[in-house]
Amino acid sequence: MSRNRRAGVLLHPTSLPGVCGIGTLGRHLRAFLEFLSHSGFSLWQVLPLTPPAAGNSPYSAYSAFAGNHLLIDLEQLVADGDLPADRLHGVDFPKDRVDFERLIPWKEALLREAAESFFANAAQERQAEFRQFCDRTYWLHDYALFRALKRHYRERPWTRWPVDIARRKPEALECAFQRLGPEINSEKYRQWQFFRQWEQVRGWASELNIKIVGDLPIFVAHDSADVWCNREQFLLDGRGKPLVVAGVPPDYFSDTGQLWGNPLYDWQVMEERGFDWWIARIRQMIALFDLVRIDHFRGFAAAWQVQAKECTAKNGCWAPGPGSRFFEAVQNAIGGLPFIAEDLGVITPDVEALREQFKLPGMKILQFAFDSDAQNPYLPHNHDQDAVVYTGTHDNDTTSGWLASVSSDVRQRIGTYLGKEGAATTEDLIRMALMSVADTAIIPLQDLFALSTEARMNRPGVALGNWEWRFGSELPASGGLSAITAQLGLYGRLNNS
Protein backbone atom coordinates (compact mmCIF):
# COMPACT_ATOMS: atom_id res chain seq x y z
CA MET A 1 0.00 0.00 0.00
CA SER A 2 1.40 3.40 -0.98
CA ARG A 3 1.87 5.91 1.79
CA ASN A 4 1.26 9.63 1.76
CA ARG A 5 4.31 10.88 3.65
CA ARG A 6 4.46 14.64 3.82
CA ALA A 7 5.89 17.53 5.78
CA GLY A 8 4.85 21.07 6.55
CA VAL A 9 5.69 24.24 8.41
CA LEU A 10 3.85 25.88 11.31
CA LEU A 11 3.69 29.66 11.01
CA HIS A 12 0.87 31.99 11.93
CA PRO A 13 0.42 34.70 9.27
CA THR A 14 0.81 37.49 11.84
CA SER A 15 4.47 36.37 12.09
CA LEU A 16 5.25 37.01 8.43
CA PRO A 17 7.60 39.88 7.54
CA GLY A 18 6.24 43.07 6.00
CA VAL A 19 6.12 46.84 6.34
CA CYS A 20 2.77 47.49 8.05
CA GLY A 21 3.41 46.18 11.55
CA ILE A 22 1.99 42.67 11.18
CA GLY A 23 2.04 39.80 8.72
CA THR A 24 -0.87 39.88 6.29
CA LEU A 25 -2.56 37.92 3.51
CA GLY A 26 -0.52 39.77 0.90
CA ARG A 27 2.69 39.42 -1.10
CA HIS A 28 4.88 38.27 1.78
CA LEU A 29 2.51 35.36 2.33
CA ARG A 30 2.78 34.45 -1.34
CA ALA A 31 6.58 34.54 -1.01
CA PHE A 32 6.32 32.26 2.05
CA LEU A 33 4.19 29.74 0.17
CA GLU A 34 6.68 29.76 -2.69
CA PHE A 35 9.47 29.22 -0.14
CA LEU A 36 7.59 26.19 1.22
CA SER A 37 7.07 24.76 -2.24
CA HIS A 38 10.68 25.32 -3.35
CA SER A 39 11.91 23.69 -0.15
CA GLY A 40 9.72 20.65 -0.80
CA PHE A 41 7.03 21.10 1.86
CA SER A 42 3.41 20.30 1.10
CA LEU A 43 1.61 21.59 4.24
CA TRP A 44 1.24 24.96 5.94
CA GLN A 45 -0.28 25.03 9.44
CA VAL A 46 -1.76 28.19 10.96
CA LEU A 47 -3.23 29.16 14.31
CA PRO A 48 -6.88 30.29 14.44
CA LEU A 49 -7.60 33.10 11.94
CA THR A 50 -10.46 34.55 13.98
CA PRO A 51 -10.44 38.13 15.41
CA PRO A 52 -8.43 38.06 18.66
CA ALA A 53 -9.92 39.40 21.86
CA ALA A 54 -8.28 39.06 25.30
CA GLY A 55 -4.49 39.32 25.23
CA ASN A 56 -4.44 39.32 21.41
CA SER A 57 -4.72 35.54 21.56
CA PRO A 58 -6.06 33.79 18.46
CA TYR A 59 -7.53 31.25 20.90
CA SER A 60 -9.76 33.91 22.48
CA ALA A 61 -11.79 35.47 19.69
CA TYR A 62 -14.77 37.76 19.29
CA SER A 63 -16.25 35.21 16.90
CA ALA A 64 -15.66 31.59 15.94
CA PHE A 65 -16.75 32.45 12.37
CA ALA A 66 -15.29 35.88 11.53
CA GLY A 67 -11.83 36.54 10.10
CA ASN A 68 -9.06 38.52 11.76
CA HIS A 69 -9.24 41.94 10.12
CA LEU A 70 -5.67 42.71 11.27
CA LEU A 71 -4.52 40.23 8.62
CA ILE A 72 -6.05 42.24 5.77
CA ASP A 73 -3.40 43.32 3.28
CA LEU A 74 -3.58 47.12 3.08
CA GLU A 75 -1.56 47.16 -0.14
CA GLN A 76 -4.43 45.29 -1.78
CA LEU A 77 -6.87 47.94 -0.53
CA VAL A 78 -4.67 50.53 -2.24
CA ALA A 79 -4.77 48.46 -5.42
CA ASP A 80 -8.56 48.22 -5.10
CA GLY A 81 -8.78 51.99 -4.93
CA ASP A 82 -10.15 52.07 -1.38
CA LEU A 83 -7.04 53.69 0.17
CA PRO A 84 -4.59 56.27 -1.18
CA ALA A 85 -1.07 54.86 -1.42
CA ASP A 86 0.44 57.62 0.73
CA ARG A 87 -1.56 56.42 3.75
CA LEU A 88 0.91 53.52 4.06
CA HIS A 89 4.00 55.72 3.96
CA GLY A 90 5.95 56.78 7.02
CA VAL A 91 4.89 53.89 9.27
CA ASP A 92 7.55 52.77 11.72
CA PHE A 93 6.66 49.49 13.39
CA PRO A 94 9.12 46.92 14.76
CA LYS A 95 10.16 44.24 12.28
CA ASP A 96 10.62 41.43 14.79
CA ARG A 97 7.38 41.66 16.77
CA VAL A 98 3.80 42.91 16.54
CA ASP A 99 3.30 46.04 18.63
CA PHE A 100 -0.44 45.44 19.11
CA GLU A 101 -0.91 48.53 21.27
CA ARG A 102 0.16 50.81 18.41
CA LEU A 103 -0.89 48.64 15.51
CA ILE A 104 -4.57 48.10 16.33
CA PRO A 105 -5.75 51.75 16.43
CA TRP A 106 -3.61 52.63 13.39
CA LYS A 107 -4.85 49.76 11.25
CA GLU A 108 -8.47 50.00 12.34
CA ALA A 109 -8.49 53.72 11.42
CA LEU A 110 -7.24 52.86 7.92
CA LEU A 111 -9.79 50.06 7.53
CA ARG A 112 -12.55 52.44 8.56
CA GLU A 113 -11.27 54.99 6.03
CA ALA A 114 -11.16 52.32 3.32
CA ALA A 115 -14.74 51.26 4.07
CA GLU A 116 -15.99 54.85 3.85
CA SER A 117 -14.23 55.27 0.51
CA PHE A 118 -15.66 51.99 -0.79
CA PHE A 119 -19.26 52.87 0.07
CA ALA A 120 -18.89 56.35 -1.39
CA ASN A 121 -16.92 55.59 -4.54
CA ALA A 122 -16.74 51.91 -5.49
CA ALA A 123 -18.03 50.74 -8.86
CA GLN A 124 -21.39 48.99 -8.97
CA GLU A 125 -19.76 45.65 -9.75
CA ARG A 126 -17.74 45.73 -6.52
CA GLN A 127 -20.75 46.97 -4.54
CA ALA A 128 -22.74 44.02 -5.91
CA GLU A 129 -19.98 41.57 -4.91
CA PHE A 130 -20.05 43.00 -1.39
CA ARG A 131 -23.84 42.68 -1.14
CA GLN A 132 -23.70 39.08 -2.35
CA PHE A 133 -21.14 38.27 0.34
CA CYS A 134 -23.41 39.82 2.98
CA ASP A 135 -26.45 37.91 1.71
CA ARG A 136 -24.77 34.49 1.80
CA THR A 137 -22.86 34.95 5.09
CA TYR A 138 -25.54 34.19 7.63
CA TRP A 139 -23.50 35.01 10.77
CA LEU A 140 -22.19 38.33 9.45
CA HIS A 141 -24.92 40.72 10.60
CA ASP A 142 -24.89 39.50 14.21
CA TYR A 143 -21.10 39.68 14.35
CA ALA A 144 -20.97 43.18 12.83
CA LEU A 145 -23.67 44.38 15.21
CA PHE A 146 -21.80 42.85 18.16
CA ARG A 147 -18.56 44.62 17.21
CA ALA A 148 -20.36 47.93 16.65
CA LEU A 149 -22.05 47.64 20.04
CA LYS A 150 -18.70 46.83 21.69
CA ARG A 151 -17.32 50.11 20.42
CA HIS A 152 -20.47 52.02 21.29
CA TYR A 153 -20.33 50.75 24.88
CA ARG A 154 -16.57 51.45 25.16
CA GLU A 155 -15.47 47.82 24.84
CA ARG A 156 -17.41 46.68 27.90
CA PRO A 157 -18.46 42.98 27.85
CA TRP A 158 -21.96 42.31 26.59
CA THR A 159 -23.15 41.38 30.09
CA ARG A 160 -22.67 45.07 31.01
CA TRP A 161 -24.73 46.43 28.13
CA PRO A 162 -28.34 47.57 28.69
CA VAL A 163 -30.46 44.54 29.57
CA ASP A 164 -32.62 44.63 26.43
CA ILE A 165 -29.53 44.69 24.22
CA ALA A 166 -27.73 42.02 26.25
CA ARG A 167 -30.79 39.77 25.98
CA ARG A 168 -31.22 40.58 22.28
CA LYS A 169 -34.75 41.96 22.43
CA PRO A 170 -35.76 42.46 18.77
CA GLU A 171 -36.90 46.06 19.19
CA ALA A 172 -33.66 46.98 21.00
CA LEU A 173 -31.57 45.35 18.27
CA GLU A 174 -33.47 47.20 15.57
CA CYS A 175 -32.85 50.53 17.30
CA ALA A 176 -29.16 49.69 17.60
CA PHE A 177 -29.00 48.79 13.92
CA GLN A 178 -30.54 52.12 12.94
CA ARG A 179 -28.19 54.05 15.21
CA LEU A 180 -24.99 52.19 14.32
CA GLY A 181 -25.56 51.49 10.62
CA PRO A 182 -22.29 52.99 9.28
CA GLU A 183 -20.18 51.19 11.90
CA ILE A 184 -21.96 47.90 11.14
CA ASN A 185 -21.32 48.31 7.42
CA SER A 186 -17.67 49.06 8.13
CA GLU A 187 -17.37 45.76 10.00
CA LYS A 188 -19.01 43.92 7.12
CA TYR A 189 -16.57 45.51 4.70
CA ARG A 190 -13.64 44.20 6.75
CA GLN A 191 -15.02 40.68 6.69
CA TRP A 192 -15.64 40.86 2.95
CA GLN A 193 -12.04 41.96 2.38
CA PHE A 194 -10.65 39.28 4.70
CA PHE A 195 -12.49 36.43 3.03
CA ARG A 196 -11.83 37.56 -0.54
CA GLN A 197 -8.13 37.87 0.31
CA TRP A 198 -8.14 34.45 1.98
CA GLU A 199 -9.71 32.98 -1.16
CA GLN A 200 -6.76 34.37 -3.11
CA VAL A 201 -4.37 32.74 -0.62
CA ARG A 202 -6.14 29.41 -1.14
CA GLY A 203 -5.58 29.81 -4.85
CA TRP A 204 -1.86 30.46 -4.40
CA ALA A 205 -1.52 27.39 -2.15
CA SER A 206 -3.40 25.20 -4.60
CA GLU A 207 -1.14 26.28 -7.47
CA LEU A 208 1.87 25.19 -5.41
CA ASN A 209 0.29 21.91 -4.25
CA ILE A 210 0.29 23.07 -0.63
CA LYS A 211 -2.55 22.12 1.67
CA ILE A 212 -3.44 24.40 4.58
CA VAL A 213 -4.05 23.08 8.10
CA GLY A 214 -6.42 25.23 10.14
CA ASP A 215 -6.91 25.29 13.90
CA LEU A 216 -10.24 24.94 15.66
CA PRO A 217 -10.25 25.90 19.37
CA ILE A 218 -12.74 23.76 21.23
CA PHE A 219 -13.93 26.68 23.38
CA VAL A 220 -15.01 30.23 22.57
CA ALA A 221 -14.57 33.48 24.47
CA HIS A 222 -17.39 34.54 26.78
CA ASP A 223 -17.30 38.10 25.45
CA SER A 224 -18.03 37.02 21.90
CA ALA A 225 -20.79 37.17 19.34
CA ASP A 226 -21.09 33.38 19.69
CA VAL A 227 -22.12 33.46 23.34
CA TRP A 228 -24.15 36.68 23.04
CA CYS A 229 -26.22 35.14 20.23
CA ASN A 230 -26.49 31.64 21.72
CA ARG A 231 -26.81 32.07 25.48
CA GLU A 232 -28.99 28.98 25.87
CA GLN A 233 -26.19 26.73 24.58
CA PHE A 234 -23.74 27.68 27.33
CA LEU A 235 -23.67 27.15 31.10
CA LEU A 236 -24.50 30.71 32.20
CA ASP A 237 -26.41 32.26 35.07
CA GLY A 238 -29.44 34.54 34.70
CA ARG A 239 -27.23 37.58 34.02
CA GLY A 240 -25.34 35.76 31.27
CA LYS A 241 -22.18 35.20 33.29
CA PRO A 242 -20.44 31.79 33.31
CA LEU A 243 -21.33 29.37 36.07
CA VAL A 244 -18.22 27.33 35.36
CA VAL A 245 -15.22 27.94 33.14
CA ALA A 246 -12.74 25.85 31.20
CA GLY A 247 -9.08 25.16 31.91
CA VAL A 248 -6.63 22.35 32.45
CA PRO A 249 -5.32 20.85 35.70
CA PRO A 250 -1.70 21.31 36.82
CA ASP A 251 0.57 20.08 34.04
CA TYR A 252 3.91 20.42 32.25
CA PHE A 253 3.31 24.14 31.72
CA SER A 254 1.93 25.25 35.12
CA ASP A 255 1.85 23.97 38.72
CA THR A 256 -1.57 25.58 39.26
CA GLY A 257 -3.03 24.51 35.93
CA GLN A 258 -4.32 26.92 33.34
CA LEU A 259 -7.52 28.85 33.99
CA TRP A 260 -8.70 29.73 30.49
CA GLY A 261 -11.98 31.30 31.60
CA ASN A 262 -14.04 30.19 28.60
CA PRO A 263 -17.66 29.30 29.34
CA LEU A 264 -18.51 25.63 29.00
CA TYR A 265 -21.12 24.31 26.61
CA ASP A 266 -24.48 22.98 27.69
CA TRP A 267 -23.96 19.79 25.72
CA GLN A 268 -27.48 18.53 26.47
CA VAL A 269 -29.03 21.57 24.81
CA MET A 270 -26.59 21.36 21.92
CA GLU A 271 -27.39 17.71 21.34
CA GLU A 272 -31.13 18.42 21.42
CA ARG A 273 -30.49 20.94 18.62
CA GLY A 274 -28.55 18.37 16.61
CA PHE A 275 -25.25 20.18 17.34
CA ASP A 276 -26.32 22.71 14.70
CA TRP A 277 -24.00 25.50 15.89
CA TRP A 278 -21.02 23.16 15.85
CA ILE A 279 -21.86 21.69 12.46
CA ALA A 280 -22.13 25.20 10.97
CA ARG A 281 -18.76 26.07 12.49
CA ILE A 282 -17.09 22.95 11.12
CA ARG A 283 -18.64 23.45 7.68
CA GLN A 284 -16.97 26.85 7.55
CA MET A 285 -13.63 25.44 8.71
CA ILE A 286 -13.52 22.79 6.00
CA ALA A 287 -14.47 25.43 3.43
CA LEU A 288 -11.42 27.47 4.49
CA PHE A 289 -8.85 24.72 5.10
CA ASP A 290 -7.83 21.31 3.77
CA LEU A 291 -7.27 19.84 7.24
CA VAL A 292 -8.30 21.07 10.68
CA ARG A 293 -6.48 20.55 13.96
CA ILE A 294 -8.98 20.29 16.82
CA ASP A 295 -7.37 22.05 19.77
CA HIS A 296 -7.94 20.34 23.15
CA PHE A 297 -9.62 17.32 21.57
CA ARG A 298 -9.90 15.67 24.98
CA GLY A 299 -12.64 18.18 25.88
CA PHE A 300 -15.08 16.20 23.75
CA ALA A 301 -14.58 13.25 26.11
CA ALA A 302 -14.36 15.32 29.29
CA ALA A 303 -13.35 18.92 30.06
CA TRP A 304 -11.69 20.37 33.17
CA GLN A 305 -14.50 22.39 34.78
CA VAL A 306 -13.72 25.08 37.35
CA GLN A 307 -16.17 27.20 39.35
CA ALA A 308 -16.17 30.73 37.92
CA LYS A 309 -15.18 32.23 41.29
CA GLU A 310 -11.87 30.31 41.45
CA CYS A 311 -8.57 32.12 40.90
CA THR A 312 -6.63 29.10 39.58
CA ALA A 313 -7.50 25.86 37.83
CA LYS A 314 -6.37 23.60 40.69
CA ASN A 315 -9.81 23.02 42.23
CA GLY A 316 -11.64 21.71 39.19
CA CYS A 317 -13.17 18.43 38.11
CA TRP A 318 -13.68 16.50 34.88
CA ALA A 319 -17.11 17.09 33.32
CA PRO A 320 -18.21 14.64 30.60
CA GLY A 321 -18.47 15.84 27.01
CA PRO A 322 -20.65 14.51 24.19
CA GLY A 323 -18.13 11.91 23.05
CA SER A 324 -18.94 9.78 20.03
CA ARG A 325 -22.44 11.24 19.64
CA PHE A 326 -20.89 14.54 18.59
CA PHE A 327 -18.59 13.08 15.95
CA GLU A 328 -21.32 10.82 14.61
CA ALA A 329 -23.55 13.87 14.12
CA VAL A 330 -20.75 15.78 12.40
CA GLN A 331 -19.89 12.82 10.20
CA ASN A 332 -23.52 12.37 9.18
CA ALA A 333 -23.78 16.06 8.32
CA ILE A 334 -20.55 16.64 6.39
CA GLY A 335 -19.20 13.22 5.43
CA GLY A 336 -15.55 12.64 6.28
CA LEU A 337 -13.70 13.99 9.30
CA PRO A 338 -10.57 15.81 8.02
CA PHE A 339 -9.24 16.41 11.53
CA ILE A 340 -6.01 16.18 13.51
CA ALA A 341 -6.72 15.59 17.20
CA GLU A 342 -4.61 17.62 19.64
CA ASP A 343 -4.34 14.85 22.22
CA LEU A 344 -1.72 16.35 24.53
CA GLY A 345 -1.86 16.79 28.29
CA VAL A 346 -3.85 14.50 30.59
CA ILE A 347 -4.99 11.80 28.16
CA THR A 348 -7.10 8.99 29.60
CA PRO A 349 -8.17 5.75 27.90
CA ASP A 350 -11.60 7.16 26.98
CA VAL A 351 -9.92 10.01 25.06
CA GLU A 352 -7.71 7.58 23.14
CA ALA A 353 -10.70 5.37 22.43
CA LEU A 354 -12.67 8.32 21.05
CA ARG A 355 -9.82 9.36 18.77
CA GLU A 356 -9.25 5.81 17.56
CA GLN A 357 -12.97 5.18 16.98
CA PHE A 358 -13.05 7.93 14.37
CA LYS A 359 -9.54 7.23 13.06
CA LEU A 360 -8.25 10.72 13.83
CA PRO A 361 -4.46 11.19 13.84
CA GLY A 362 -2.99 12.38 17.11
CA MET A 363 0.07 14.52 17.83
CA LYS A 364 3.60 13.53 18.87
CA ILE A 365 5.85 16.27 20.30
CA LEU A 366 9.57 15.51 20.30
CA GLN A 367 10.30 17.99 23.09
CA PHE A 368 8.24 15.71 25.35
CA ALA A 369 10.12 12.54 24.31
CA PHE A 370 13.22 12.51 26.48
CA ASP A 371 12.05 12.90 30.07
CA SER A 372 11.47 9.21 30.81
CA ASP A 373 12.37 5.79 29.42
CA ALA A 374 12.06 3.87 26.15
CA GLN A 375 8.29 3.54 26.63
CA ASN A 376 7.76 7.30 26.22
CA PRO A 377 5.01 7.56 23.57
CA TYR A 378 6.64 10.62 22.00
CA LEU A 379 9.86 8.78 21.11
CA PRO A 380 9.97 8.10 17.37
CA HIS A 381 10.16 4.32 17.73
CA ASN A 382 6.76 4.47 19.49
CA HIS A 383 5.03 6.64 16.87
CA ASP A 384 2.10 5.42 14.84
CA GLN A 385 1.98 5.75 11.08
CA ASP A 386 -1.32 7.63 11.44
CA ALA A 387 0.10 10.46 13.54
CA VAL A 388 1.49 13.97 13.18
CA VAL A 389 4.95 14.56 14.64
CA TYR A 390 6.17 18.01 15.67
CA THR A 391 9.49 19.19 17.04
CA GLY A 392 7.40 21.60 19.14
CA THR A 393 4.21 23.63 18.86
CA HIS A 394 3.25 27.28 19.35
CA ASP A 395 2.96 26.57 23.09
CA ASN A 396 6.52 25.26 23.37
CA ASP A 397 9.80 27.08 23.47
CA THR A 398 11.70 27.02 20.20
CA THR A 399 13.73 23.83 19.97
CA SER A 400 16.95 25.83 20.18
CA GLY A 401 15.65 27.57 23.32
CA TRP A 402 14.44 24.29 24.77
CA LEU A 403 17.78 22.58 24.19
CA ALA A 404 19.51 25.46 25.95
CA SER A 405 17.23 25.07 28.98
CA VAL A 406 17.36 21.29 29.51
CA SER A 407 20.13 19.48 31.31
CA SER A 408 23.27 18.38 29.52
CA ASP A 409 22.17 14.79 30.25
CA VAL A 410 19.01 15.28 28.20
CA ARG A 411 20.95 16.81 25.32
CA GLN A 412 23.39 13.92 25.46
CA ARG A 413 20.52 11.40 25.61
CA ILE A 414 19.08 12.82 22.40
CA GLY A 415 22.46 12.53 20.69
CA THR A 416 22.83 8.96 21.92
CA TYR A 417 19.35 8.13 20.66
CA LEU A 418 20.43 9.30 17.19
CA GLY A 419 23.79 7.52 17.42
CA LYS A 420 25.87 10.70 17.16
CA GLU A 421 28.64 12.13 19.24
CA GLY A 422 28.12 15.32 21.19
CA ALA A 423 25.05 17.23 22.34
CA ALA A 424 21.89 17.45 20.26
CA THR A 425 20.98 20.38 18.03
CA THR A 426 17.75 21.70 16.53
CA GLU A 427 18.75 20.07 13.25
CA ASP A 428 18.86 16.72 15.02
CA LEU A 429 15.26 17.02 16.20
CA ILE A 430 14.10 18.11 12.75
CA ARG A 431 15.82 15.06 11.25
CA MET A 432 14.20 12.89 13.93
CA ALA A 433 10.76 14.26 13.02
CA LEU A 434 11.30 13.72 9.30
CA MET A 435 12.58 10.17 9.74
CA SER A 436 9.67 9.22 12.04
CA VAL A 437 7.26 6.52 10.91
CA ALA A 438 4.46 9.10 11.31
CA ASP A 439 3.15 10.01 7.87
CA THR A 440 2.94 13.75 8.66
CA ALA A 441 5.68 15.94 10.14
CA ILE A 442 5.27 19.64 11.02
CA ILE A 443 8.18 21.93 11.84
CA PRO A 444 7.72 25.44 13.28
CA LEU A 445 9.47 28.03 11.11
CA GLN A 446 11.46 29.08 14.19
CA ASP A 447 13.05 25.62 14.22
CA LEU A 448 13.86 25.63 10.50
CA PHE A 449 16.08 28.63 11.21
CA ALA A 450 17.22 27.41 14.68
CA LEU A 451 15.93 30.57 16.37
CA SER A 452 16.36 31.13 20.10
CA THR A 453 13.81 31.59 22.89
CA GLU A 454 13.20 35.20 21.81
CA ALA A 455 11.24 33.77 18.86
CA ARG A 456 8.80 31.86 21.07
CA MET A 457 5.15 32.47 20.15
CA ASN A 458 3.31 31.68 23.39
CA ARG A 459 3.96 30.94 27.05
CA PRO A 460 0.91 29.14 28.44
CA GLY A 461 -0.31 30.57 31.70
CA VAL A 462 1.31 33.95 31.02
CA ALA A 463 -1.28 36.60 30.21
CA LEU A 464 0.82 39.28 28.50
CA GLY A 465 3.51 39.49 25.85
CA ASN A 466 2.45 36.49 23.76
CA TRP A 467 1.60 36.14 20.06
CA GLU A 468 3.93 39.01 19.11
CA TRP A 469 6.84 37.25 17.40
CA ARG A 470 7.57 38.01 13.74
CA PHE A 471 10.17 36.65 11.35
CA GLY A 472 11.98 39.93 10.89
CA SER A 473 14.01 38.94 7.83
CA GLU A 474 13.04 38.21 4.27
CA LEU A 475 12.92 34.52 3.39
CA PRO A 476 15.92 33.18 1.46
CA ALA A 477 16.09 34.79 -1.97
CA SER A 478 17.04 31.48 -3.58
CA GLY A 479 13.52 30.28 -2.80
CA GLY A 480 14.18 27.33 -0.51
CA LEU A 481 16.42 25.53 1.97
CA SER A 482 18.52 22.98 0.09
CA ALA A 483 19.53 21.02 3.20
CA ILE A 484 15.88 20.56 4.22
CA THR A 485 14.94 19.65 0.65
CA ALA A 486 17.53 16.90 0.68
CA GLN A 487 16.17 15.50 3.95
CA LEU A 488 12.57 15.64 2.71
CA GLY A 489 13.66 13.57 -0.27
CA LEU A 490 15.70 11.18 1.85
CA TYR A 491 12.75 10.43 4.13
CA GLY A 492 10.08 10.27 1.44
CA ARG A 493 8.30 13.54 2.25
CA LEU A 494 9.15 15.69 -0.77
CA ASN A 495 6.42 17.75 -2.44
CA ASN A 496 7.03 16.94 -6.08
CA SER A 497 4.84 19.69 -7.50
The verdict on whether 142 is a catalytic residue reads: no
* pTM exceeds cut of 0.85: yes
Task: List the strands of the sheet with 339-341, edge to edge.
Answer: 339-341, 291-295, 211-217, 43-45, 6-10, 440-444, 387-390, 362-365
Residue closest to 15 by CA, chosen among 463, 478, 484, 458: 458
Q: 43-45 and 362-365 as β-strands: parallel, antiparallel, unpaired? A: unpaired
Q: Which is catalytic among the residues 75, 395, 428, 468? A: 395
Give the pLDDT of residue 1. Answer: 36
Residues 29, 445 contacting (CB under 8 angstroms): no
Mind giving me the DSSP string for 351-395? HHHHHHHTT--EEEEGGGTTSS-TT-TTSGGG--SSEEEES--TT
Separation in Å, CA 470 to CA 24, 98, 125, 223, 229? 11, 7, 37, 27, 35
Mind giving me the DSSP string for 247-259? EE-S-SS-TT-EE
Q: Which is catalytic among the residues 82, 215, 342, 397? A: 342
Q: Which is catalytic among the residues 223, 295, 343, 428? A: 295
- What is residue 277's three-state secondary structure? helix
Mind giving me the DSSP string for 73-130? -HHHHHHHTSS-GGGGTT----SSB--HHHHHHHHHHHHHHHHHHHHHH--HHHHHHH
CA pair distance 326, 267, nearest whole angstrom: 9
The verdict on whether 395 is a catalytic residue reads: yes
Give the pLDDT of residue 420. Answer: 87
The verdict on whether 96 is a catalytic residue reads: no
Q: Where are the domains of the chain?
A: 230-360
CA pair distance 390, 305, nearest whole angstrom: 28
Q: Which residues of 296-325 are buried (b: 16+ CB within 10 A; e: fewer)?
A: bbbbbbbbbbbebeeebbeebeebebbbee
Burial of 211 (0-12, 13-18, 19+ CB in 10 A): middle
Please report, in tens digits, the pLDDT of each residue of the chain (497 residues total). Answer: 347 999 999 999 999 999 899 999 999 999 999 999 999 999 999 999 999 998 899 999 999 999 999 999 999 999 999 999 999 988 899 999 999 999 999 999 999 999 999 999 999 999 999 999 999 999 999 999 999 999 999 999 999 999 999 999 999 999 999 999 999 999 999 999 999 999 999 999 999 999 999 999 999 999 999 999 999 999 999 999 999 999 989 877 788 888 989 999 999 999 999 999 999 999 999 999 999 999 999 999 999 999 999 999 999 999 999 999 999 999 999 999 999 999 998 899 999 999 999 999 999 999 999 988 899 999 999 999 999 999 999 999 999 999 999 998 898 889 899 998 888 999 999 999 999 999 999 999 999 999 999 999 999 878 889 999 999 888 876 667 899 999 999 999 999 75
- What is residue 474's three-state secondary structure? coil
Q: What are phi and psi of 441, to 5 degrees?
A: -125, 135
